[in-house]
Chain A
């Protein structure tokens, strides 16, 4: 390995690779040999080593603790998450043991049922529910009763003031500049109309635009929206895996809608949900060079 074979920048990059143990085998030996012949490279390596170790020390954040108020909120949310999870694991038969209509035929049966009621799981659930009730009080319990599934998580996790959070169907113009937390069901940026999805076969109750943000892999869906004005339409599908990496990016349609279309309703050909964890659908309507309307909608794919 000769120094002249490399650009100076490449050599510096190799120093980092060497420092982080990315060089192995013969390549590592050759580089060490090169290093031993050049003191300036050794000095650079020393700078990188010390500066890197200080950065690690700095961001190890030794002694920095989570504020108690935040910790309490996290534990409340955790207890709530657990109670939901635990109850979802309990079969119907377990949940309905002491229904009034049930007849206990023998003492042995009654004893068995009592022991089932006082099972470890039952006690765990009761303890979790009790702890949750005591810890968070009636105010938060009211929030948890909300019919909006995502909102209850957001409320339970409120680490700071969220009084100004917009509702998910908030149509204010500044919506794009505000975080709406986990329940980004639909986020039209400039118009109250959005993207609507009908599952096939069509049923009135299955409109995802109304209530659901969940789709299933392989499910066939119809998509439609109401363009407020004519323009060039681009529809983009983006699929992400569990950790949020982009797995699919596809632009399906590019054409100009006509006002003669069924009351300006613009329909996209049926689409099969791909094998991803999250699917984003973005519709851009380009009115002119300076005017662009964007609809976005995110779906969790099961």
Chain B
């Protein structure tokens, strides 16, 4: 009986904890998916699929997170990327939203101060540096590790480092180094 109660309490604690984390991280997952699909509806579908997986078997997810020694946030971000790759592999075609840049801006920046406006401007430049660089820098900005970035692209870590350097320089030049002067 005691064991049953403990199990029940454990489930409750686990569900509450995962739920809170999922609620907190939802906007980031949506942006991560949007940066890859360039289509808001498809991005939301991807996040929805990932979440459905979570509620399908939260115990399994918790176990996987523990085994991998990662965080729920990192795990879910990885799941979003994997889901995108799966869909691409299955031949899914994503149609770019014409106002993709605006949708990304609205999803990422809510701060109406001058700093927020600068970040918004910075993001605008980020949307114009090409799909490969945009995806790479957004994933890096979201905290994905080099090893994960390399794995998702079938590259070595040093190749990814070179690509990151190239993209960062491109973004810096395009944005006119706004933050160096700010």
- The DSSP consensus for interface residues of chain B is helix
User: Which residue of the partner chain, among B48, B123, B177, contacts A159 with CB atoms under 8 Å?
Assistant: B48
How far is B44's CA from A63's CA once the two chains are assembled, in angstroms?
20
User: Which residue of the partner chain, among B45, B51, B161, contacts A13 with CB atoms under 8 Å?
Assistant: B161
Q: How far apart are B152's CB and chain A's nearest CB, in angstroms?
A: 10
- Asked whether, in the complex, the Cβ of B168 is within 8 Å of the Cβ of A157, the reply is no
Q: How far apart are A287's CB and chain B's nearest CB, in angstroms?
A: 17
* Interface positions of A from 218 to 256, Cβ below 8 Å from B: 242-245
Q: How far apart are B34's CB and chain A's nearest CB, in angstroms?
A: 12
- Asked whether, in the complex, the Cβ of A89 is within 8 Å of the Cβ of B8, the reply is yes
Segment of A15-23, A31-39, A132-140, A202-210 in the binding face: A15-23
User: What does the 1/0 interface line of B3-20 toward A look like (CB < 8 Å)?
Assistant: 011011101100100110
Q: Among A176, A182, A245, which residue has the most Cβ atoms of chain B within 10 A? A: A182
- Asked whether, in the complex, the Cβ of A16 is within 8 Å of the Cβ of B19, the reply is no
Q: Which residues of A contact B146 (CB under 8 A)?
A: 20, 22
Q: A64-B107, A82-B11, A157-B55 are in contact. Are A22 and B180 (CB under 8 A)?
A: no
User: What does the 1/0 interface line of B68-103 toward A look like (CB < 8 Å)?
Assistant: 100000010011001101110011110000000000
- Asked whether, in the complex, the Cβ of B108 is within 8 Å of the Cβ of A179, the reply is no
Q: A65-B27, A77-B51 are in contact. Are A89 and B7 (CB under 8 A)?
A: yes
User: What does the 1/0 interface line of A38-82 toward B look like (CB < 8 Å)?
Assistant: 000000100110111011111101111110001100110110111
Q: A10-B158, A58-B123 are in contact. Are A296 and B19 (CB under 8 A)?
A: no
Determine the residue in chain B with the shortest Cβ distance to A127: B12
Q: A55-B140, A58-B119 are in contact. Are A182 and B53 (CB under 8 A)?
A: yes
- The DSSP consensus for interface residues of chain A is helix
Q: A47-B169, A179-B92 are in contact. Are A80 and B162 (CB under 8 A)?
A: no
* Interface positions of B from 42 to 76, Cβ below 8 Å from A: 42, 44-49, 51-56, 58-60, 64, 67-68, 75
Residue B117 lies at the interface, judged by CB distance under 8 Å to chain A: no
- Asked whether, in the complex, the Cβ of A244 is within 8 Å of the Cβ of B86, the reply is yes
How far is B172's CA from A227's CA once the two chains are assembled, in angstroms?
54
Q: How far apart are B135's CB and chain A's nearest CB, in angstroms?
A: 12
User: Which residue of the partner chain, among A9, A158, A176, A187, contacts B162 with CB atoms under 8 Å?
Assistant: A9
How far is B166's CA from A10's CA once the two chains are assembled, in angstroms?
11
Residue A281 lies at the interface, judged by CB distance under 8 Å to chain B: no
Residue A169 lies at the interface, judged by CB distance under 8 Å to chain B: no
- Asked whether, in the complex, the Cβ of B5 is within 8 Å of the Cβ of A119, the reply is yes
- Asked whether, in the complex, the Cβ of A13 is within 8 Å of the Cβ of B162, the reply is yes
How far is B175's CA from A268's CA once the two chains are assembled, in angstroms?
57
Q: Which 9 pairs across A and B sit closest by C-beta, in order of nearness?
A: A55-B141, A244-B82, A81-B55, A59-B141, A13-B161, A12-B165, A13-B162, A121-B8, A78-B19
17 examples of A-B residue contacts, CB within 8 angstroms: A12-B161, A12-B166, A16-B165, A22-B146, A44-B165, A54-B119, A56-B143, A66-B24, A71-B26, A120-B8, A124-B9, A159-B44, A159-B47, A176-B90, A179-B46, A242-B64, A244-B85
B: residues with CB less than 8 A from A are: 1, 4-5, 7-9, 11-12, 15, 18-19, 22-24, 26-28, 31, 41-42, 44-49, 51-56, 58-60, 64, 67-68, 75, 78-79, 82-83, 85-87, 90-93, 107-111, 119, 122-123, 126, 137-138, 140-143, 146, 151, 157-159, 161-162, 164-166, 168-169, 171-172, 177, 179-180
